[in-house]
Amino acid sequence: MFPDEFDYHEAESVSEAVDLLEAHAMEETELLAGGHSLLPAMKTGLSSPDVLIDISGVDELRGVSVDGDTLSVGAMTRYSEVLDDDAAHEHAPALTAAIEQLGDRQVRNRGTVGGNLSHADPASDLPGPALVSDATLVVHGPDGERSVPAEEFFFGMYATDIGPSELLVRVELPSADGAVGTYAKKPSPASGYPMVGVSALVATDGDAVSSVRVAANGVMDHGVRLEPVEDALTGETLGDDAIEAAASYAADDLDEAMMMDDLQASAAFRAQLLEVYTKRALQDASERVSASAAAD
């Protein structure tokens, strides 16, 4: 399997990448980051760009930093680089929990945070963590930078708010401030992509849940918050009974007719998996809260 012919350009800066995107605005153009999603799509004919702009060498797009209460992750930061950063685990535990389960070591050493989010595959692992972390995605285009809340970034299957001459430059995540982050997924036996993946970010005040955000990917054509679960668990003691009751609402706001229905799993099966893996994500959170309390 070979891709169709294309013109190749290597950008050395964000501004050069934007200039190249503008110059080729009338052609089918793709950005090359880690390549784990794009290159297989090109080889199978699912994507046939006329122009390929390689941004893998743009150093300003890489790195993890903390500014006050905000963690910033450059779009070209590789998964393994996030996992190697102590600040990422402290400030964005839902993100690191998902990355720990993403692919294998080779994938984590090559794949990038920005590539994953920009590609917006419904079965990718990171939209859920972005949603529960209340992340902001910063894109850069001809008119400079603009910030897009994660809730407004994902439009649907492979569709985001990134404009034709824009690229994602970084992801900003407010500090979890002591909340625990978890991720539970049912991976496809063939690909490892989640048939259902559930992210949770849970904070407690004493025994009661003071704040909880839960989101799922792999279920709809984009990541979704599970607000009925959040509403049911807020103010409750984070125990088995409350978790089981809250998880039973996982699919309440979702139209089963709009759920993913493919060779991996039917919509009905995904709805069942959603409840199961919501429960597992919250049980993991409960165990981590208990472990933290015992350590104190």
Indicate the average pLDDT of the chain. 94
Write the burial class of residue 237 (CB in 10 Å: 0-12 exposed, 13-18 middle, 19+ buried).
middle
User: In which band, very low, low, confident or very high, does the pLDDT at 34 lie, cut at 50, 70 and 90?
Assistant: confident
Three-state SS at 254: coil
Integer-rounded Cα Rg, in Å, for the chain is: 19
pLDDT on residue 177? 94
140 confidence band (pLDDT: 50, 70, 90) = very high
Kind and range of the H or E element at 196?
strand 194-205
Question: Which residue ranges form the domains of the chain, and what is each CATH number?
Answer: 7-54 (3.30.43.10), 64-174 (3.30.465.10), 180-295 (3.30.390.50)
Percent of the chain with pLDDT over 70: 99
Report helix, strand or coil for 271: helix
Residue-wise pLDDT tens digits, 156-185 = 999 999 999 999 999 999 999 999 999 999
